[in-house]
């Protein structure tokens, strides 16, 4: 490491201390919630062994649902290895809650890319649209709810579900706090108590003391290879919310009539339990890495979002790198700092559903797990890297320093 890089690192570490204290305090609070949930459900060794076949009377699976519900402060939950991803969890929720003739209304603009086929914005086979379910979105301009438009649409009784994406995902927008989501939910429910409000909670879990369901959202969903799996879950997703929503979704997750009674958990349960126990701590490691990254890159003149000291409601950090070379150098540095495939150099490639080439760095133990240190970005101005994760802050810091070194190599003027 050059003296210049050592100095940037030291300054960034100093600048992090206050944010780190607040991250530690949230992690402490959430760890207590999770421990209380384990204790209330009297989790024992017997719960950690999964089931086979139909998975009837799988006490570990049923108790884990209750542990999630308890820690997330809602009535009920479904946590399953059969949920293959966040997109699948969202799909189960949408198909579980909506019926032909109904409309869903997104009030945070366009949903996550992979939902375009699910909703039918792209002509995806088996989409909601094919089943006669409509989709309307209200732009999320300047990252604010358009309350007047929302109220106007609520007069339409066919609208049965309001969709809110908490995290900015890969968009240039603000991430919402759970409380803000709760506030808009209250406005909506005052006008239409019959409507369901759901939240795409991917990347949001344990970044704050409370989740959106605590503030009145009916249903939220997420992936176990992001925050809630704590870096240990090998696959899976969850849905959490009211009894009514969870029951409806259970018949879509498996079959009408069977619902939550069946689903073998194989070898997955122990990691799900231990991962959920670890999750508040693991999320804190990712948040610290994000804050550190923001401090490092801001100090050398790059635009970062969120700002180093602002409150965080998800684990994503963006850095506008300004040139294709810098974006590639950044992602290659993150890859070099990874425990797995550190020797591989990611290059931009075409990806289904994206207009521009995309570069992705992920040297992860679990394929594609973005709770582990990872970065990606589309090759278009302002050449923004979306960075998230790190199972340990130590490794996150080292990865960021590799990215910094790489950028200095191609970008001599910054030295």
For residues 55 and 266, give the distance between their C-alpha atoms in angstroms, rounded to a whole number.
9
Residue 85 binding ligand PLP, by CB under 6 A: yes
50/169 with CB nearer ligand PLP? 169
Q: For ligand PLP, which is the closer residue by CB, 83 or 401?
A: 83
Question: Does 388 interact with ligand PLP (rule: CB under 6 A)?
Answer: no
The piece of 83-91, 179-187, 273-281, 378-386 that touches ligand PLP (CB under 6 A) is 83-91
Under rule CB under 6 A, residue 169 binds ligand PLP: yes
Nearer of residues 87 and 336 to ligand PLP, judged by Cβ: 87
Radius of gyration of the chain (CA): 21
Total of chain residues touching ligand PLP, rule CB under 6 A: 12
- What lies within 8 Å, CB to CB, of 2 at 6+ separation is 405, 408
The least distance separating ligand PLP from the CB of residue 69, rounded to whole angstroms, comes to 21
Q: Which of residues 137-166 bind ligand PLP (CB under 6 A)?
A: 165
Name the residue among 17, 6, 23 with its Cα closest to residue 285.
23
The first and second tokens of residue 67, run together, are 């542990």
Q: How far is the CB of 111 from ligand PLP (least distance, A)?
A: 7
Binder to ligand PLP among 97, 107, 181, 202 (CB under 6 A)?
202
- Of the pair 83, 404, the CB lying nearest ligand PLP is at 83
Q: How far is CA 326 from CA 204, 303, 351, 359, 399, in A?
A: 28, 13, 20, 12, 15
Three-state SS at 112: coil
Q: How far is CA 283 from the centre of its chain?
A: 11
- Is residue 86 involved in binding ligand PLP (CB under 6 A)? yes
d(CA 308, CA 299): 10
Q: How many helices (H) and strands (E) does the chain have?
A: 10, 12
102 binds ligand PLP (CB under 6 A): no
Which residues have C-beta within 8 Å of that of residue 144, sequence separation ≥ 6? none
C-alpha–C-alpha distance, residues 185 and 192, integer Å: 10
Site string for ligand PLP, 339-378 (x = CB under 6 A): ----------------------------------------
- Return the exposure string of 376-413: e unless at least 16 CB atoms fall within 10 Å of the residue's CB, then b: bbbeeeebbbbbbbbbbbebbbbbbbbbbbbbbeebee
Q: Is 110 in the site for ligand PLP (CB under 6 A)?
A: no
Q: Pick out residues in 266-325 that bind ligand PLP (CB under 6 A).
A: none
Q: How far is the CB of 193 from ligand PLP (least distance, A)?
A: 27
Of 11-50, binders to ligand PLP (CB under 6 A) are: none
Asked if residue 106 binds ligand PLP (CB under 6 A), the reply is: no
Q: Could you list the residues that contact ligand PLP (CB under 6 A)?
A: 85-87, 112, 114, 165, 167, 169, 200, 202-203, 223
């Amino acid at each position: 490491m050059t003296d210049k890089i050592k100095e940037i690192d030291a300054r960034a570490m100093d600048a992090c201390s206050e944010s780190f204290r607040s991250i530690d305090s949230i992690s402490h609070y959430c760890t207590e919630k999770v421990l209380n949930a384990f204790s209330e459900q009297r989790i024992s060794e017997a719960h950690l062994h999964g089931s086979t076949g139909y998975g009837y009377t799988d006490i570990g699976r049923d108790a884990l649902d209750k542990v999630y519900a308890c820690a997330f402060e809602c009535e009920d939950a479904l946590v399953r290895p059969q949920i293959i991803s966040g997109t699948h969890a969202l799909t189960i929720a949408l198909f579980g809650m909506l019926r032909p003739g109904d409309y869903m209304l997104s009030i945070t603009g366009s949903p996550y890319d992979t939902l375009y086929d699910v909703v039918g914005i792209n002509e995806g086979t088996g989409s909601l649209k094919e089943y006669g379910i409509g989709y309307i979105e209200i732009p999320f301009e300047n990252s604010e709810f358009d309350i007047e438009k929302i109220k106007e649409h609520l007069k339409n009784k066919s609208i049965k579900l309001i969709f809110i994406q908490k995290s900015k995902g890969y968009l240039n927008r603000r991430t919402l706090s759970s409380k803000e989501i709760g506030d808009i939910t209250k406005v909506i429910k005052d006008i239409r108590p019959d409507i369901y409000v759901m939240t795409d909670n991917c990347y949001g879990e344990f970044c704050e003391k409370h989740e959106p369901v605590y503030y009145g959202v009916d249903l939220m969903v997420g992936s176990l290879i992001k925050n809630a799996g704590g870096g240990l879950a090998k696959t899976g997703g969850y849905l959490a919310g009211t009894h009514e929503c969870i029951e409806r979704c259970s018949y879509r997750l498996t079959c009408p009539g069977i619902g939550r009674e069946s689903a073998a958990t194989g070898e997955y349960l122990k990691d799900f339990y231990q991962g959920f126990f670890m999750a508040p701590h693991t999320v804190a490691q990712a948040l610290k890495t994000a804050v550190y990254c923001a401090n490092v890159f801001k100090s050398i003149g790059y635009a970062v979002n969120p700002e180093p000291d602002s409150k965080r409601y998800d684990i994503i950090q963006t850095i506008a790198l300004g040139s294709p070379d810098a974006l590639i150098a950044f992602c290659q540095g993150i890859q070099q700092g990874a425990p797995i495939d550190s020797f591989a150099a990611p290059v931009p490639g075409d990806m289904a559903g994206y207009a521009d080439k995309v570069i992705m760095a992920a040297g992860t133990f679990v394929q594609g797990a973005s709770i582990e240190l990872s970065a990606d970005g589309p090759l278009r101005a302002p050449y923004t890297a979306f960075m998230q994760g790190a199972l340990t802050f130590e490794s996150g810091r080292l990865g960021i320093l590799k990215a910094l070194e790489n950028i200095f190599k191609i970008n001599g003027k910054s030295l």
